[in-house]
Amino acid sequence: MKVTVVGSGYVGLVSGACLADVGNDVLCLDVDAAKIRILEEGGIPIHEPGLLEMVRRNVAAGRLRFTTDVQAAALFGEVQFIAVGTPPDEDGSADLQYVLAAARSIGRYMDGYRVVVDKSTVPVGTADKVRAAVAEELAARGAQFGFSVVSNPEFLKEGAAVDDFMRPDRIIVGADDARAIECMRELYAPFQRNHERLLVMDVRSAELSKYAANAMLATRISFMNELANLAETLGADIELVRQGIGSDPRIGWHFLYAGCGYGGSCFPKDVKALVRTGREHGHDLRLLNAVEEVNERQKLRLVDKVVARFGENLRGRRFALWGLAFKPNTDDMREAPSRVVLKALFERGASVLAYDPVAMDETRRIFGEEPRLAYAARPMDALDGADALIIVTEWKEFRSPDFARIRAQLKQPVVFDGRNMYEPGVLERHGIEYFGIGR
C-alpha cells in the first residue's frame, strides 16, 4: 500500500519506518529541510533504539523515502498520516496549526480518494476540523474527490517505540465509514497476525482514548509520589508499599514507581490539554489539576533534600548528576525533571558535572554555554571531588555501580537517588549517606 506520513519527527518517523518494514511503500514528508537532509544522508534526528537500523534497511530496499515536496506527498499515498507536532499554547490547549496546515495541503493537491489519518495527539473534535479543512480546499479547486478522516492515536513509549509499533497492545481506529475501516484493517493486518488487536470506535471516542490513557498513567505516577512523601514522614518504605499494592491484580505493577516526577513530550502536554478541554466544556477536572500540581512540585523534591543536607546557599559546591533525559533510552529533554533540578541548583550557586549516555548534546543545546554546567565522558568521571551524587534518570548502566569507588571519589559520600535505584541498606554498608524518595 502507498502511504504518506506528514511529519518526520518522533511519531511520524517511527510510524513510517515500521509501515515500510512490513512491505508498504512509504513517503515521509517534512517541511524542515535540515531534518530531511539528515534522513537522506543515512542518519536520524532523534535517538530511538532500533530505529536507525530499520530506517536504513527500508531506504536501501526502496520502500522508505523522504521529501520536502508537499504536493508530491499529497499525490503519493492513498493513506495520508498526519503526524505533526501539537505543542501546548500558553493556556495549555493543543496548538492545531500544523495539523490543519497538513490537512489543507492534502486537500489542495490530492487527486483521488484519500484516507486522512490523525496520528498526532489531538483534542476531541479535531477530526471535524481536519475534515472541514480538506473540504474547503477541495471546494476552492472545484474538485469533488472523496475522502475519509480517521483517528488512529499512537501509543508509543519513547525508548521502546519500534517494538510498541511492531507488537501493539491495541490499535484504535476511530472512523465512521466502512471503506476507511477496511483500508485501516488492511494496513494493520501484518501487526496483528496472532490475534485481533484492532478496536474500531467512533472518532471522538478514539480521540479521547489517547488523552485518557496518558492522563491515567500520569495520575498513577503522581499518586505514588504523594504516597512516597507521606511514607517518609511516617517512617514507611514506598518500595515495600509498591510491592504490597502492585501484587493486587486489580492494580498491577505498571507506573507505580515513586521518583522525581514525570516529563517528556506526552504526559505534561496531554494532561494540560485534557484539563483545558474540560474547562472549555464546563468541566473542572480537579483530579488532573492535582496530578499536574503534584508533578511540578515533585521535580523539586531532590533539590529540597539537597538543601536540607547542605543548606540553602550552595555557592562553592559542585554536584555530580547522573541522567539528563526525561527517561532512559531517549535523548528527549522536554519537561525533563533534570532541567528543573539544574536550574534550582544554579540559582543557589552550585555547579554541576553531568553525565547521560545520549542526552548531553541536547542539554548543551538547551543550556548553551552555561558556565556552571560541565559534562563527563563516563559516569564515574563526574564524581571526582563532588559534594554529592544526584541521580535523576534510571539508565541501566547506573543500576549496579562500584559503590566503594563512588565513596572514594566523592568529596562527601552522599547520594540523592531520584529514582530509588538502590537499596538504602546496601549503601549504608558501603559508608554512603543515602537519600531516596519515600525510603
Work out the number of other CB atoms within 10 angstroms of the CB of residue 365: 9
Tens of pLDDT, residues 361-411: 999 999 999 999 999 999 999 999 999 999 999 999 999 999 999 999 999
Nearest alpha carbon to residue 115 among 103, 126, 124? 103
What is the percent of the chain with per-residue pLDDT over 90, rounded to a whole number? 96
Residue linked to cell 539508565: 395
pLDDT attached to residue 265: 86
DSSP state of 76: H
**266 annotated active-site:** yes
Tens of pLDDT, residues 265-282: 899 999 999 999 999 999
Tell whether the model's pLDDT for residue 91 goes beyond 80.
no
- Cell, residue 57: 534497511
Cβ contacts of 59 within 8 Å, gap of 6 or more: 42, 65
pLDDT attached to residue 38: 96
Please provide the average confidence, as pLDDT, over all residues in the chain: 96
Among 18, 28, 260, 266, the one annotated catalytic:
266
Please compute the mean of the pLDDT values over residues 252-256 and round it to a whole number. Answer: 96
pLDDT attached to residue 93: 80
Beta carbons of 18 and 162 less than 8 angstroms apart: yes
When pLDDT is cut at 50, 70 and 90, the band that residue 264 belongs to is: very high
Mean pLDDT lowest among 16-20, 92-96, 181-185, 242-246: 92-96
When pLDDT is cut at 50, 70 and 90, the band that residue 87 belongs to is: confident
Nearest alpha carbon to residue 134 among 123, 119, 149? 149
Q: How far apart are CA 425 and CA 439, in angstroms?
A: 10
SS3 (DSSP) at 329: coil
When pLDDT is cut at 50, 70 and 90, the band that residue 195 belongs to is: confident
Please compute the mean of the pLDDT values over residues 329-347 and round it to a whole number. Answer: 97
pLDDT attached to residue 365: 96
Tens of pLDDT, residues 3-13: 999 999 999 99
Nearest alpha carbon to residue 85 among 97, 73, 77, 72? 97
